[in-house]
Structure 1
């Protein structure tokens, strides 16, 4: 029934220790062998997502930067890219400096910070990517950014999100990817829009897609997929819009979903018929 499955990384495919179980890798490879297009849909930069794709044997184009970039693992060409405008980028850099909130930015698949802070170093180590220090982020912003990421405590980021949504309206897409991560991308750069673009390019209908995620930035992914699956550890807002809730990321929730809806199609079809919501 399903020809494509798009999987979030942090909190979904990856455990809390940022690992992937051998059983989950086997399930993904079996799905690919059956002809299913398996891709990643993540807020991470392409170079970080590519490492994980290579680890599990995924060679389909990857949805990265919250949907701001789609690029194939083995090709240099970018299939889809949407950048935050230079004016919004500059305003966000100024705001971060004024309020002393950590901000890191992405341009040409390079991670930049204004200084070598603990947050920047910890992030780069966690996702296994290098970083560059550029004190003049304002100058860098003249060419726009693929993504901007604020890192701070929820009591700082939650009101900031509301403020930015009021300030920029539909000129930017603003979403929490973790409780202490607030991400800003182009308004057309979300996982759902990118998913439909990729599916259309591959000749796959929306009804033939499964989307799996756990956090607020996965909402559009689940909404646009023909069948949306929330992880057991997902925030309630994501569970509320999902067709099915799987096990947690620490309990092989992705493997469970693939087994149920891809590798065991008869059981998956029955479950879908019983629990699926009507897609508009």
Structure 2
């Protein structure tokens, strides 16, 4: 099968545990792209955390960012599609985080805002640096007017397990998902990696059977289900592996490269 559109998750999939991109994987991706396949990074990161990776690989095209809440042209930085959240419905979540000492940020397509910029803990600053994010000071909430696409809570796995249980008992106006062990994301109900990939495929004239998607976590399930070939990394949770068509090697073993060679270059 010749795949025309290949969606790659970034953290835990394309990158290893040190957040490094292997040169051999870059070479393979370039070879696949040279044969006509369109490579799309489909990530929980903001565009400015993913576009540098596209540029490093010598790719043009699109980035599906914020777990599907926005699609951005990697060359022009044009927002092709975004799912705007209802800011008023976020107020209970913001209050919860403030009252319980849970770090959070709110995101526009290109901006990331935190409540107390000057008082950020070292581990929080380090996290933002790892994901190539530069936080800004959140203005007074009553004055907010920009379109928001994602709300993220960050903390230890145990703490976020508690938060997830609490929020799961609420009437949920958002798509709430664990995008990593240390993150909970809230987005518009329609926003997901799978739906964004679907919208991009419609625009590009590509049917699902000509799409491959590779990911490693629960936020990747929708795109693994939508793609004709959904591949999970060996480092994925068991539920993600069971939902995929196939399991490749881990992110520390260049599983993306292994899958591309098997299905696109063999």
Q: 2:195 aligns with which of 182, 193, 200?
A: 193
Greater CA drift, 42-51 or 120-129:
120-129
Q: In the alignment, what sits opposite 1:79?
A: 80
Q: CA deviation at 1:227?
A: 0.8
Q: TM-score, structure 1 length as denominator?
A: 0.89
The alignment status of 1:128 with 2:132, answered yes or no, reads: yes
Give distance in 1, aligned partners of 2:23 and 2:147: 39
Aligned pairs for 1:207-218 (under 5 A) are 207-218=209-220
Is this contact kept in 2: 1:66–1:190, CA < 8 A?
A: yes
Which residue is equivalent to 2:115?
114
Contact 1:105/1:147 (<8 A) preserved? yes
SS at match of 2:50: helix
Contact 1:70 1:81 in 2 (8 A): yes
Q: CA deviation at 1:58?
A: 2.2
Cα distance in 2, alignment partners of residues 140 and 123 from structure 1: 28
Q: Residue 162 of structure 2 aligns with which residue?
A: 159
Shift of 1:83: 1.9
CA offset at residue 14 of structure 1?
A: 0.5
Contact preservation (8 Å) 2:46, 2:109:
no
Verify the 8 A CA contact 1:86 1:143 in the aligned structure 2.
Answer: no
Structure 2 distance, partners of 1:140, 1:163, is 28
Q: Report which of the two has the higher share of helix.
A: 1
- The alignment partner of 2:186 has SS state of strand
User: Per-residue deviation at 1:111?
Assistant: 1.2
Q: CA deviation at 1:135?
A: 5.8
| Shift in alpha-carbon separation, 1:103–1:244, aligned structure 2, 3 A | same
Aligned partners of 1:115 and 1:135 also within 8 Å: no
Gap regions ≥5 residues in structure 2:
none
- Write out aligned runs for 1:136-151 (5 A): 136=140, 138-139=141-142, 143-151=146-154
Structure 1 residue 105 displacement after superposition: 1.3
The CA deviation at 1:140 is 5.7
The alignment's TM-score, normalised by the length of structure 2, stands at: 0.94
Moved over 6 A (4+): none
Give a deviation string over 1:53-108, Cα, whole Å, max 9, x none.
Answer: 11112212110000000011112421110022112222221111111100011124
CA 1:135–1:98: 2 relative to 1, 3 Å: farther
Change (3 A) 1:93 1:101: same
Matches within 5 A, 1:31-42: 31-42=32-43
User: Could you say if the C-alpha distance between residues 107 and 30 of structure 1 is closer, same or farther in structure 2, counting changes exceeding 3 Å?
Assistant: same
Aligned-pair distance for 1:114? 1.0
